[in-house]
C-alpha cells in the first residue's frame, strides 16, 4: 500500500505542469495527457483514495480557508470539488500536492 506522500508524488508525476491538468473531467479524453487530481490519483493507485482525499481536504482547507466546496458523502467529492472550483488554479493544486508529498 502506498503512503499519502507516495500517492501525492505520483500525482505530481502525472501532472508535472499546468498543461497536464484539467477541470471538469477526470481526463482530457482519449490521447490527451490532462487529468484532474482525482483522475491522476486513480492512475497512481486504486481503490478509492479515502485517506488521500482526507489529507488533501485538510491541507486545502488550511491553505484556502475561504474556498467553499460542496460536499457529498464521500471524501473524494472534496478533491473533485476543489479541483473544479472556479477559483482553483494549477498552482493551488500543486501547492497542496507538494505539501502532501513532503509528508
What would the pLDDT profile of 37-81 be if each residue is shown by its tens digit? 999 999 998 766 688 999 999 999 999 998 878 777 777 888 999
Residue 48 pLDDT: 64
DSSP 18: G
98 has a pLDDT exceeding 80: yes
Higher pLDDT, 32 or 63: 63
Mean pLDDT of the residues in the chain:
90
15 has a pLDDT exceeding 90: yes
84 has a pLDDT exceeding 80: yes
Residue 17 pLDDT: 96
What separation in angstroms does the CA of 47 have from each of 20, 53, 70, 86, 95? 22, 12, 23, 28, 24
Amino acid at each position: 500500500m502506498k503512503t499519502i506522500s507516495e500517492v501525492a508524488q505520483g500525482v505530481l508525476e502525472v501532472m508535472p505542469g499546468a498543461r497536464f491538468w484539467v477541470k471538469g473531467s477526470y481526463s482530457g479524453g482519449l490521447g490527451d495527457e490532462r487529468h484532474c487530481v482525482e483522475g491522476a490519483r486513480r492512475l497512481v493507485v486504486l481503490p478509492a483514495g479515502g485517506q488521500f482525499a482526507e489529507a488533501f481536504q485538510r491541507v486545502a482547507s488550511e491553505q484556502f480557508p475561504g474556498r467553499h466546496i460542496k460536499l457529498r458523502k464521500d471524501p473524494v467529492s472534496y478533491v473533485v470539488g476543489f479541483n473544479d472550483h472556479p477559483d482553483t488554479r494549477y498552482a493551488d493544486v500543486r501547492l497542496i500536492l507538494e505539501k502532501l508529498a513532503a509528508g
